[in-house]
Structure 1
């Protein structure tokens, strides 16, 4: 058995068939999700110019991701992850196909867009719940830090490609980005069908019956509650991800208010995403040399600098994207460091629930930040909510400076 594990670990990731299938399918699917981050707000802003309505629809998506995270984690630990992947991609495909049809026939309504955002967000949460358990199955332990770094790189690359593609397609035809997104969501469906490795848990015989679903929902939170480090990270991720949701939304509103075209808005997001791509490429090296506490302190400082720079009124769309990219740069390394800690310490039977407990926390305030950012932008302009987010990042930076963690401790 040890010899088999040694042979498996010696195979590089680039030759791991199932990992490459999963990585490719997820990359295409995430590109579709990022196309939507430009296409939906631009559709609403073009129709009636309301940042509040655009924020409402974006907020609905984040509410669905938040509300579905806990049950999705329990499902991923109890039912076939292959089937859950198929279900999640079909939910997302159905939602975007309905928006495609409505846009093509000029029958879009706010209620329909909100409902589609709820369904797509729930599908996204279900897809996310399977990611960490799936990675444990298809990647040997010695390669997981590298694989986690590549996961961040995949997301950053999708974030780099999706928004400008969405902007260009929307400039050509308003329905075109939704057609492209529908095709992208087929990527995970194809990957889920083609992966040969048993993804569990239903693929393996159980030695004891699983807990009832309500009990399973609590187990992940109980595990997190027992660790002071995990409790702190729950709060940190909730505030940072909520602020990031508002920051990403305000980038679109800010560029639109400054007269940028849809393609220029997409280009600004792509330029900003370059910061995340570069950060993802550097994440393996950064996490190998820096403790997570130091990474968080550095990341908090860059968040403050980047968000303040975005408020400069004379900044063109491209340079606004550069400021956004500065804010993003170190966040992939922080994510890799924390996920590696979870993979090393959390039992496999709890991986889905614990990871989605953290994901639920990370998404818990996104809807509030996006909706508040849209309302404040309508009342006082996008610079006011941007400055408020900068103040929050500054408070988090101060908290990280005050907090002490042993440098041999969690997140190494």
Structure 2
């Protein structure tokens, strides 16, 4: 699964800007239509995920993952053919984007339970390798995709992206899935179970609030930071590209180190420390002065942010699995991804409006303040609370997966060997 994840992640980031490129150059959408396209696709994907993700807990996961890869690949291929034929429309773009977003959320919901079958001494290694792969793909994929799109056109670039999902599906079809599917229950009983579980388990609720606050801050300040770099600081295109690319090395480095640090210090200590430090890197951005030192300052802050996030993300993923009941893991992960995708655009809109009214630096400072609030849930008492049977409710089966496993694990034996079953990371790097 690690190989399948690598192929599809590289393919996705390789073609990450092609859909918007087609919307602008082929369809000729306006700024408002572009916002409508993204908003409708996000709403549709979130609604589908909230309904379907809870059902995945009762299905075999491997055929679900294969089907979702094929669905995403087919959506991109249809868009590629329509672009080549000159018949692409705004509705087609929205449908393809919504299909790809839905498939991505549901894939994470299906693949995360597969990680339960990885031994505890290998899980942190596997999640760390995922983190490294993501940041390597982030470093290489978009620039390479831009070059290839310029050389062969957006249609063939989308075809390459579609092919990556086909290759991923073929690789996934070869893995084994231990254990039978869970007992089927009424769809009506499953819808909403993910959100209820998140809210009723104090440690899970703390992780969720942390993810929403920091993710909203990061997503909201990203476009404002780009405006700040180009307009206020007056940096050139190559300097902007440098700022986008070089910090990804921090995420790659963190991914390779995360399992060693977790083994030495324990999940709880790593979560708290990196959750605090990653916020620190956001705070000085608004105060950076224009001048020769601006590039070095932003590079340092972004590298530090991605390094600490690269340590936090795999630790966060393993902690979330540890506190979630096994029979609700897909429901929780799917609902988590769907709701955060719906919340982030609101934060982006609010911070963007504040940037227009109060100025970019003030908006960046407010965004950093929102991110700083994310450390409070990790410091709260609820982060340590054990979930009770009454809190879990709804007939969930309690198991070792419902217990908190955040303590240091120096007594376990860890081997730097590759995991055979590794799913995709829990959504975007905002968790």
Normalised to the residue count of structure 1, the TM-score between the two structures is 0.76
How many residues of Structure 1 are paired with residues of Structure 2 in the alignment? Answer: 379
Q: Secondary structure at the match of 1:78?
A: coil
Rounded to whole Å, the distance in 1 between the matches of 2:230 and 2:343 is: 25
Q: Which residue of 2 aligns with 1:278?
A: 253
Cα deviation, residue 121, structure 1:
0.8
Q: Does 1:115 align with 2:95?
A: yes
Rounded to whole Å, the distance in 2 between the matches of 1:254 and 1:107 is: 37
Rounded to whole Å, the distance in 1 between the matches of 2:16 and 2:348 is: 12
Q: Does 1:241 align with 2:219?
A: no
Matches of residues 351-390 of structure 1 in structure 2 within 5 Å?
Answer: 351-369=329-347, 380=356, 388-390=363-365
Cα deviation, residue 120, structure 1:
0.9
- More displaced 10-residue stretch of structure 1: 361-370 or 174-183: 361-370
| Structure 1 residues not aligned, in runs of 5+ | 1-21
Rounded to whole Å, the distance in 1 between the matches of 2:29 and 2:239 is: 17
Rounded to whole Å, the distance in 1 between the matches of 2:287 and 2:10 is: 27
Q: Does 1:214 align with 2:193?
A: no
Q: Which residue of 2 aligns with 1:176?
A: 156
Q: Secondary structure at the match of 1:365?
A: helix
Cα deviation, residue 88, structure 1:
0.8
Q: Does 1:87 align with 2:87?
A: no
Q: Does 1:156 align with 2:130?
A: no
Cα deviation, residue 219, structure 1:
3.1
Q: Does 1:226 align with 2:205?
A: no
Q: 1:309 to 1:188 in 2, by over 3 A?
A: farther
Rounded to whole Å, the distance in 1 between the matches of 2:25 and 2:230 is: 10
Rounded to whole Å, the distance in 2 between the matches of 1:133 and 1:328 is: 26
Q: Over aligned residue pairs, what C-alpha RMSD do you find?
A: 3.8
Normalised to the residue count of structure 2, the TM-score between the two structures is 0.73
- More displaced 10-residue stretch of structure 1: 37-46 or 119-128: 37-46
More helix, by proportion: 1
Q: 1:214 to 1:59 in 2, by over 3 A?
A: same
Q: Does 1:25 align with 2:4?
A: yes
Q: Which residue of 2 aligns with 1:296?
A: 275
Matches of residues 309-348 of structure 1 in structure 2 within 5 Å?
Answer: 324-348=302-326
Rounded to whole Å, the distance in 2 between the matches of 1:320 and 1:46 is: 32
Cα deviation, residue 123, structure 1:
1.0
Q: Secondary structure at the match of 1:37?
A: coil
Cα deviation, residue 181, structure 1:
0.8
Rounded to whole Å, the distance in 2 between the matches of 1:182 and 1:94 is: 7
Determine if contact 2:61/2:177 at 8 Å carries over to the other structure. no
Q: 1:366 to 1:96 in 2, by over 3 A?
A: farther
